């Protein structure tokens, strides 16, 4: 009699537990789904692009959010981004920082804006602008915005610029002047 009572209570308890574990997915989607939310969100991102075991590019971001859009997968860096471009010998060639960045993984292009700064480590030259575009396929960087370049000996400025990601040489689209700086 005692074992029959135990089995009955055990089955009753088990059926209560099993019936309590059923979730209605439609109700969960109503509570948690927002079309504007990212598909993925990553904190303290460090990404390394390499070729034949050598780093070509390192990307750092506090927060990276991935969205699937009509024109492909887009990764947004809303709290700043740092890119380090490496030379063929593995040494750091240039850095690029901005307050905001966006990579379109389908097209292989990146746009950065807000306090954009690029620095060439060998030549000690700095470029500053508000918007800059990078094409991963051919390693070109360009902008149609106002640009300032500071070298150890000169201050150059103009509108629009084209350069390679190593920032070793550049071309102003509309140069506007130069100022020699004496130490």
What CATH number corresponds to the domain at position 68?
Answer: 2.60.450.10
Residue 20 lies in a domain: no
Residue 27 lies in a domain: no
Residue 10 lies in a domain: no
Write out the chain's pLDDT in tens, 183 residues: 567 777 777 776 767 666 655 566 676 666 666 777 788 899 999 998 888 888 888 999 999 999 987 878 999 999 999 999 998 888 999 999 999 999 998 888 999 999 999 999 999 999 999 999 999 888 899 999 999 999 888 888 899 999 988 888 889 999 887 666 666
Write down the pTM of the prediction. 0.75
Residue 164 lies in a domain: yes
Residue 16 lies in a domain: no
Residue 127 lies in a domain: yes
What backbone torsions phi and psi does residue 160 show, to the nearest 5 degrees? 80, 145
């Amino acid at each position: 009699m005692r074992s029959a009572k135990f089995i009955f209570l055990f089955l009753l308890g088990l059926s209560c537990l099993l019936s309590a574990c059923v979730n209605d997915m439609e109700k969960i989607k109503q509570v948690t789904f927002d079309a504007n939310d990212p598909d993925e969100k990553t904190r303290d991102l460090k990404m390394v692009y390499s070729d034949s075991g050598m780093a070509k590019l390192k990307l750092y971001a506090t927060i990276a959010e991935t969205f699937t859009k009509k024109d492909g997968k887009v990764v947004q860096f809303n709290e700043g981004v740092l890119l380090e471009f490496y030379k063929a010998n593995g040494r750091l060639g240039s850095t690029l920082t901005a307050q905001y960045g966006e990579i379109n993984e389908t097209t292989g292009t990146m746009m950065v804006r807000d306090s954009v700064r690029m620095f060439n480590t060998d030549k000690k030259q700095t470029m500053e602008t508000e918007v800059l575009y990078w094409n991963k396929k051919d390693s070109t960087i360009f902008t149609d915005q106002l640009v300032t370049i500071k070298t150890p000996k000169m201050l150059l400025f103009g509108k629009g610029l084209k350069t390679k990601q190593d920032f070793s040489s550049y071309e102003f689209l509309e140069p506007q002047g130069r100022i020699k700086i004496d130490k």
